[in-house]
Amino acid sequence: LSAAGIPWSVLRNYSSASAKEKARRNAICERTELLEVLKARVKQLQASNVPEVTVNKVELAPLGNDKYQDPLRKVVAPGAAEEQPAPRGRDESPARPSSWVEKLKKEMYIRQLKVERKLSIAASQLAREGQAKAKPKAKAKPKAKAKAKAKAKKSQKSLKSPKAPKAKVAAAWSQSHAGPHGVYACRKPRVAAVKEGAKAQWPRRVLEHKDSSQYKILQQTIQSSLECFLFLQQPEEAERFLLLYHSSPVKRRLLSVNAYNIVMRSWARKGCLQRINQLFSMLESVGLRPSLDSYAAALECMGRNQSSTKAVWRCVQQLKNDGFHVDELFQKCLFEEDEKEKVLRAIRIVQPNYELPPPPKPQTCKSSLLQDFYSKEKMVPYPKLDFTVQELQERFQQQLEMELENTVTIESVESTKPLTPQAIKARKLLATLRSQWHDSILQALQKSKHSMSKLKTVSGYNILYPYLCLMPDEEYVGIMLQILNALSPQGESLAVLARELGSKIYNRYITQRKLRSRQLEKVQEVYEEYIHLLAKDRQPDKYLPREYWEKLVAEAGFGPSLNLKDCSWPYMLLMRLGMHMLELLVQAVKVPRNILNPHLEPRFIPVLYHVYSFHSSWQVGLIKPHPIFSQIVSDAAETLLTFNSSAIPMLCPPVPWTSPHFGAFVLNDTKLMRFVDGAVQHQLLLEQCPPVNLHPVLDALNQLGNCAWKINQPVLDIIISIFNDKGNEKLDIPPPISEAPRPPAAPSNSSTCNKSQKHELLLCKKKTAEMHSLRMDALYKLSIANYVRDKVFWFPHNMDFRGRTYPCPPYFNHLGNDVTRAILLFAEGKPLGPKGLDWLKIHLINLTGLKKKNALQERLEYANEIMEEILDSADHPLTGRKWWMNTDEPWQALACCMEIAKASRSPDPAAYISHFPVHQDGSCNGLQHYAALGRDLIGAMSVNLMPCSVPQDVYSAVAQQVEEFRKKDAEQGVKIAQVLQGFVSRKVVKQTVMTVVYGVTRYGGRLQMEKRLKEIDEFPEEYLWEASHYLVKQVFNGIKEMFSATRDIQNWLTESAKLIAQSGRTVEWVTPLGLPIVQPYYRSRSTVLNCSMQNLSVKTSNGNQKPDTVKQKNAFPPNFIHSLDSTHMMLTALHCLRQGLTFVSVHDCYWTHALTVDVMNQICRQQFVALHSEKILQDLSEFMLEKYCSPGRETRALWQKKLMEQLSNVPKTGKFNLKKVMDSTYFFS
């Protein structure tokens, strides 16, 4: 019998040492006593009924409980050797428990309850004492586990010393333990007894909270393992795994109907109706109702077998008795391969004329902001791309091949350098080593799988084993070598590498599933029809991409569903799988020590080392390559880079988003909403949301993704030439490592190495690491750009939890820095038209940052004055006067100079076809939304919501206000105000003003100020702290005075969030476009993954933990404003589509062709006015009152009354007339 593990949710570090010690001793005595009694009882019962003692071995488990606590643990614990259950034949059903087993179960249950009661009393006492200093401490966990484990072993086999289990058992267990608490029997046994108390109650508690995330993660792990068996076509294994849970009364509660359904589906594929009937009986025996999927599996099986009419009729009757309708099978179930056809065949056995139900009528979004957009009368044909159907089909095939490969290997932009003899030699050596490593990794993997498969028959199950069988061994080896090749000389943290390995395996598995289920075939068929909407040689159609795709899917009727049944793997499982692969990699990859220096002895040493480093106060495990390996790689100067196919822009228009599960890439799994690892609440929220409410958001993402791009080749070539010629930090092109500062030469007498030299050495190391990271980032971006230099490409988009949109390919996209933006052009060209050239010139001056305070006309005149400089920059970028280099955004400025030169030299500039994106930027966009929400007159003027002849600069206005405060104080003799004379400028206050809207605190603001003041050489250093403290106070006062309504709204949002979080709920709201949002901030808990290499503390964020009040409170105002700016952007995107504009955005910076800037500006203003004409704060207040202060309770808790009062008290608004925005030139400019 094995002792219980500690649940994450009760892990605390209690302070009272004596109480700890007492409770620890008590708990251990209780345990030992109980174990002795039970052992005696087992022996007594054995004597009366020898053969049966092993039959229900699983039933002995409820005492220890650790086995149900974590899905990643082995399912059944190995007991003492003499008590192993006899392996059962494959098709035997589990034996019925005999009378003595029932008796034993009853006795154990009663005893367990008594112990639990005592332990819980001890625990609650301790909890009360320790409440004051309660702090989560993840590291203590394995120790408790280990100690209890050792205790249990000791009492089972008194002959063994406590050391023995570690030596003999750990070997098997380190392979098999797949959970946050591995077993190192002799880790320092120092742990509070309260944890023991809590252990005993854990499963019951988690199992009672069926909605908790932890419970869901346990269920998800069981289901993903069953899905593996389904994929591997091993129904016997699937059933065996299910029975391990089903046969235990406690673990059984973790099984949902879905778990039984997966096993039914695997038998249905084999046509074993008898097994499915057994599973129906099992469902009934545990009080679960069959779901539609259960009946779908039974009918599929009958369809395969051509069952008798009577059998099918009985099944259909039972389905109806359970309240379902036959049509629902085809409306609600997801099918793979030929399952749908088989179900239909079965139904036609009893209803020969049965026809599939017609697809549901498409629903139309009712949002008042989009009535025009979705009205059928005002619908216009969808704009065409400049491609024929044939060309788009070819591009789709290229994209598909790339995604099927899973990775893309491309030439690096450094490949133009000539090869040295040293590089040729190093490359040969590396190739030899890699082929040796491939063999040794393969051997290690096969050995580990073999030992797992042996273990499987003896003691239950090894959770990881099925996940290592999903693909040929070669594929796993390929993934591990990829990680090895991409490792930087500075090393990488274990957690990052483990996650990457786990994710790569998961992605390959999903690809295989899509192929196996024939989902890909169907996507291909639908896509080939879908491109008719976009191709120029087909009739225009009045459909949106999403609507057209849904129509085609409905018409396709048969075949697999396009959404796979949910098969995502829990985060902890991905990490565990990744850690296992990493351990194999570290063990298997070795290199001869004398490979670079023949004088050394020729023994093999590991290529990868596991070391620790400190990040602030955290100890972090790193994997570092041996310098020998780094040296060979550096000498080889290889020029090939390998990326995941999802890191490369798409070569065909993206698959339109039609649901939270489906869209973007053809094969790669993409989430509609990005979120932190392990968070599930966003996905759940999106799934519960009525699909029609998500239409505007999906359509906006499709619109952004459908913009075609191409490369600005002349600019790319100049950038690559500088990149390969030692870079240029001023122009944001990182120099190579060879340019890094050399560390100071160490003196011959090492003891004299003083503090300052050590510090200098440290700084050199830091700088080198930074340079390497920046250089690699630039190398990736430029190499991908170079790879697609002659292609047209697309960036599929998704969003974060606030609705802000992002391109999916991570390295190279239009959200990047100046360098990346400069090499991107729209693939579609449009004539400049009468005002296009002027807009290009104004855009250039905006990029230089020289005339921010001047009117547009003045900027245009300035551009005409310096035309000579502009043309010189375009013609001789690296040899001329280089005017472009001294601007805010040099590379975009250069690209713009070249475009202006070409346009102005063309015979008719108005007819010149331009592909160049022109930007319009919001003026301190967060404050614009606040000022509009509060109808704040002074605020509205200072952020350009009011028409004005020149742009208003909010930063200068605040700086002026602060200067006035400072003068007053200086006159009254305040020392620091006098010191600051002449130092209060726009630059000093800008960052703080900008971030105030996004929730910066006084503490953060002070740090920002200090940084700015440090940059002023003349400022006396001894006053830094005092001055920054004084300034931040004055900036906050200045903003309070200028933006009175803004501060009121910010305070109202903050206070509301605080009360909501204190009541134990997370803050949720719905954007004006209908997107549901939840803030994912919880008191993060660390779960400890025990691996043989090290214990990995993995932070998990799930909804079962209490909200982090401080984060919920501070983040609500900025997140709410971000959700409004994303709503404004999406409205603008959708209305630009209706007008036939090309539109993309970088949050609050909107891009379009020079020809259409004026139209976009008008749409952008119209949509801002429309958005803020909604009762945004009123609606928010009503939504929250309904959500958090439900009526129906006669006696409201005090916090609820307080919250109701707070939410009902919506801030009053000012007198600003919103319509003025329509005429404000500098609102976006």
Which residues are tagged catalytic? 921, 990, 1148
Output the CA torsion sign for 691, 694, 699, 705.
negative
CA max distance for the chain: 107
**Residue-wise burial string across 851-882, b where 16 or more C-beta atoms lie within 10 A, e elsewhere:** bbeebbeebbebbeebeebbbbbbeebeeeee
Residues 6 or more apart from 877 whose CB is under 8 A from it? 718, 884, 894
Give yes or no for a contact between 353 and 534, defined as CB atoms under 8 angstroms apart.
Answer: no
> Which residue from 747, 791, 787, 737 is spatially nearest to 767, judged by alpha carbons?
737
Distance from C-alpha of 364 to C-alpha of 543, rounded to nearest angstrom: 13
CA atoms within 13 A on the CB side of 280: 20
Give yes or no for a contact between 42 and 53, defined as CB atoms under 8 angstroms apart.
Answer: yes
Report the alpha-carbon angle 21-24-26, nearest 5: 110
Q: Compute φ and ψ for 409, nearest 5 degrees.
A: -105, 125
Structure tokens at 115: 């112990």
Distance from C-alpha of 887 to C-alpha of 845, rounded to nearest angstrom: 9
Alpha helices by DSSP H, 157-290: 164-176, 193-208, 213-231, 235-246, 257-270, 273-285
Distance from C-alpha of 290 to C-alpha of 1214, rounded to nearest angstrom: 59
Output the CA torsion sign for 1205, 1206, 1212, 1218.
negative
User: Helix, strand, coil shares of the chain as percentages rounded to 5?
Assistant: 60, 10, 35
Distance from C-alpha of 480 to C-alpha of 434, rounded to nearest angstrom: 11
Q: What is the DSSP string of 1047-1089?
A: HHHHHHHHHHHHHHHHTT---EEE-TTS-EEE---B--EEEEE
For the chain, count helices (H), then strands (E).
44, 23
Q: Compute φ and ψ for 594, nearest 5 degrees.
A: -95, 20
Distance from C-alpha of 906 to C-alpha of 743, rounded to nearest angstrom: 55
Distance from C-alpha of 307 to C-alpha of 312, rounded to nearest angstrom: 7
Distance from C-alpha of 762 to C-alpha of 498, rounded to nearest angstrom: 28
Give yes or no for a contact between 1042 and 938, defined as CB atoms under 8 angstroms apart.
Answer: yes
How many CB atoms neighbour CB 264 within 10 A?
32
Structure tokens at 646: 């999802």
> Which residue from 880, 642, 652, 683 is spatially nearest to 798, judged by alpha carbons?
683
Position 250, amino acid: V
CA atoms within 13 A on the CB side of 366: 3
